[in-house]
Amino acid sequence: MRRTFLAVFFVSLALVAVSLGVLFVQGCGGEAAPTASRDIAGPTHPATAGPSPVEPSPAATPGIFGPTGIATGPAEHDGQRALAILQELAKEPRVSGSAAEARAAEFIADRFRSYGYTTEIMGFEFDGDRFRVGEVTVGGNTVASLTLAGSSGGTVEAEAVYVGLADEAGVAGQALKGRVAVADRGTLNFIDKYQNVKNAGASGLIIVNNKPGPFSGNLTTSADIPVVALSQEDGSAVLEAAKSGATVRIDSPPTVGPTKALNVIARASADSSCTVLVGGHFDSVPGAPGANDNASGAANVIELARAMAADGLDEGLCFATFGAEESGLYGSKALAARLSEEGSLPKFMLNLDVTGIGDDVEVIGNGEPAEDALQAAKGLDIPAVSAQLPPNSGSDHQSFIDAGVPTVFLTSGDFATIHSPQDVAQDISETMLDQIGDTSLALIKAWLVQVARG
């Protein structure tokens, strides 16, 4: 779910408000190992602007997933299988452009391949990334940081100096030349903090949150030294180190230039068109395991692919998990644009996002496709209601609406913990996952019949 951000990562993706030195944002779901990768492009599957077909893997995943090349299990959605996939995905945040995103994409591609689908990891690029994850190291302890938009990034290791708010009073009289300035968040615009320490000769700037949780921000200028943000929790040790003159190290990716990210696409054969597309994003925001948002929807997509393949692959039915949804729906935009250029946009698109916690299947959409979804749920005695997204929210169905494709978005509607460390697998309802999956399966079959009838 692309919503607003921060209350431990309720990041506003639609609006960056930099005032009084802080980024004020609202929320739209513990702690994970920091992702230090600068670039997910690797020697095997480079993330380019075009598709990168993935060769079938000989490896089999034991247990519930079944052997490679065989869609085991019943030809129906299985909540237990979906939950097992979700638990695997939610082991770590899956931020766009990170090594964790690449690991998740490989896992998803392996699942699709194991059900017999022709599978592709599609690389794409986008600009304006606010989730460039780096690291700060002090005293042998490394914590995750976010590079402020506009920073050139880089690696700096030097003595740290505490500069208060990085205002004139905090910087005055400090020996900052070649050193790393460590400042408190608050009161002063980020650009002013940066310019004050840069003018004093600092080689880097770390800004520590003045309230619980991490944050992100925009310098509104191009900075030629690394400028990074730390959570209050992780930053406390860095503040103490700066007050004692200890050495700190910043490893920060640049915020300028494109970010490389990934979609994963499955179809019956390499030349199959996608008349019905089922999708959901698999990325998450920094600091959030992203179980409900959106390992849940991605797990549903993967399990639906298995269920539909159990009695044979369907030509025209495609499945996709999207990257960079949280950064601005970029993965779904990239796929919609590609399909549009190929003249092969789907007749219907089903989007699954935040599907693991709630009381009812919520149907977001208009016209006959939405009515089809409500009738599919009714036929299964599954509680379902028409719904709308909260303000300042969005999801990947919008990319296909913009391309003129009829869409339906199914969600379980509980957004309480998304974009936070509390968005964990333990809170996911297997029953809710299965209700979304069962409704989706019935809807997919109804749409395939409609397409076949012309």
Supply the CATH number for residue 220's domain: 3.50.30.30
What was the pLDDT predicted at 53?
Answer: 31
Q: Answer yes or no: do 230 and 301 share one domain.
A: no
Q: Are strands 218-223 and 247-252 parallel, antiparallel or unpaired?
A: unpaired
269 and 245, same domain (yes or no) = no
**Last residue in a domain, options 185, 219, 252:** 252
DSSP 351-374: EE-S-SS-SSEEEE--HHHHHHHH
CA atoms within 13 A on the CB side of 249: 10
- Pairwise CA distance, residues 83 & 450, whole Å: 30
- Indicate whether 17 belongs to any domain: no
- CATH (domain of 373): 3.40.630.10
383 in a structural domain: yes
Continuous H helices in 44-116: 79-89, 99-114
* The dihedral formed by the CA atoms of 169, 170, 175 and 176, expressed in degrees to the nearest 10: -120
Indicate whether 200 and 309 sit together in one domain. Answer: no
Cα–Cα nearest to 227, from 6, 23, 5: 23
285 lies in the same domain as 388: yes
Question: Within a domain: residue 400?
Answer: yes
- Please indicate, yes or no, whether residues 357 and 416 belong to a single structural domain of this protein: yes
Pairing of strands 218-223, 149-151: parallel
What the block records as the tokens of 431 is 């029953």
Residue 12 lies in a domain: no
Give the domain-ending residue among 227, 252, 277: 252
Domain match, 212 and 265 both = no
Give a yes or no: residue 14 inside a domain: no
- For residue 219, what pLDDT is reported? 87
Task: Look at the chain and report how many structural domains it folds into.
Answer: 2
Residue 34 contacts residue 135 (beta carbons within 8 Å): yes
Q: Are strands 348-352 and 407-411 parallel, antiparallel or unpaired?
A: parallel
Phi, psi torsion values for 11, nearest 5 degrees: -90, 130
Question: By CB neighbour count within 10 A (0-12 exposed, 13-18 middle, 19+ buried), where does 222 fall?
Answer: exposed
Q: Are residues 419 and 271 in the same domain?
A: yes
Amino acid at 45: H
What is the rounded distance in angstroms from the CA atom of residue 389 to the CA atom of residue 370? 14
In a domain, 432, yes or no: yes
Same domain membership, residue 444 and residue 387: yes
Q: How far apart are CA 49 and CA 29, in angstroms?
A: 30
Q: Are residues 157 and 300 in the same domain?
A: no
Judge if 63 and 170 occupy the same domain.
no
Residue 6 located in a structural domain: no
Contact call for residues 185 and 21 (beta carbons, < 8 A): yes
The reply to whether 396 falls in a domain is: yes
**Residue that terminates a domain, selected from 252, 269, 300:** 252
- Please report the pLDDT score of residue 68 as a whole number: 52
pLDDT tens for the 454 residues of the chain, in order: 765 333 333 333 322 222 222 222 222 322 222 222 222 222 222 233 333 333 333 333 334 444 455 678 899 999 999 999 999 999 999 999 888 899 999 999 999 999 999 999 999 999 867 788 889 999 999 988 999 988 888 999 999 999 999 999 999 999 999 999 999 999 899 999 999 999 999 999 999 999 887 788 888 888 999 999 998 989 999 999 999 999 999 999 887 778 899 999 999 999 899 999 999 999 998 878 999 999 999 999 999 999 999 999 999 999 999 999 998 899 999 999 999 999 999 999 999 999 999 999 999 999 999 999 999 999 999 999 999 987 778 899 999 999 999 999 999 999 999 988 899 999 999 999 999 999 999 999 999 999 999 8
The residue range of the domain holding 141 is 133-252
- What DSSP line would sit under 156-205, residue for residue? EEEEEEE-TTSSHHHHTT---TTSEEEEE-SSS-HHHHHHHHHHTT-SEE
Same domain, 181 and 77: no
Reported pTM: 0.74
Cβ neighbours of residue 240 closer than 8 Å, sequence gap 6 or more: none
Are 230 and 211 in a shared domain?
yes
